[in-house]
Amino acid sequence: MPRVARHAHKSHRNSWLRAAVLGANDGIVSTASLIIGVAAAGVDQHSVVLTGTAGLIAGAMSMAAGEYVSVSSQADTELADLAMERRALQANYTAEVAELAAIYVQRGLAPDLAQTVAEQLMQHDALGAHARDEIGISASGRARPLLAAGSSAALFTFGAGLPLLCALLAPANAVALWVAVASVLSLMLLGSLSAKVGGARVLPAVGRVAFWGVAAMVITGVVGMFVGPGG
What's the pTM value of the predicted model, to 2 decimals? 0.73
Distance CA 173, CA 189 (A): 26
What is the residue range of 22's domain? 16-84+144-224
Count of domains forming the chain? 1
**In sequence order, what are the residues at sequence separation of 6 or more whose Cβ sits closer than 8 angstroms to the Cβ of residue 26?**
59, 63, 156, 159
Residue 179 forms part of a structural domain: yes
Residue 26 forms part of a structural domain: yes
Residue 133 forms part of a structural domain: no
Q: What is the model's pLDDT at position 19?
A: 65
Residue 57 forms part of a structural domain: yes
Pure H helices in the chain: 14-40, 45-91, 93-106, 111-130, 145-169, 175-198, 202-227
Residue 112 forms part of a structural domain: no
Residue 69 forms part of a structural domain: yes
Residue 231 forms part of a structural domain: no
Asked if residues 21 and 148 have their Cβ atoms less than 8 Å apart, the reply is no
Residue 202 forms part of a structural domain: yes
Q: What is the model's pLDDT at position 46?
A: 92
Mean pLDDT, consecutive 10-residue stretches, the chain (231 aa), reads 46 51 87 93 91 94 88 84 88 89 90 89 86 76 75 90 93 92 91 78 87 92 80 54
Q: What is the model's pLDDT at position 3?
A: 52
Q: What is the model's pLDDT at position 227?
A: 81
Distance CA 212, CA 33 (A): 11
Distances (CA, A) of 212 to 66, 145, 188, 206, 223: 22, 28, 11, 10, 17
Helix axes 14-40, 145-169, angle to 10 degrees: 30
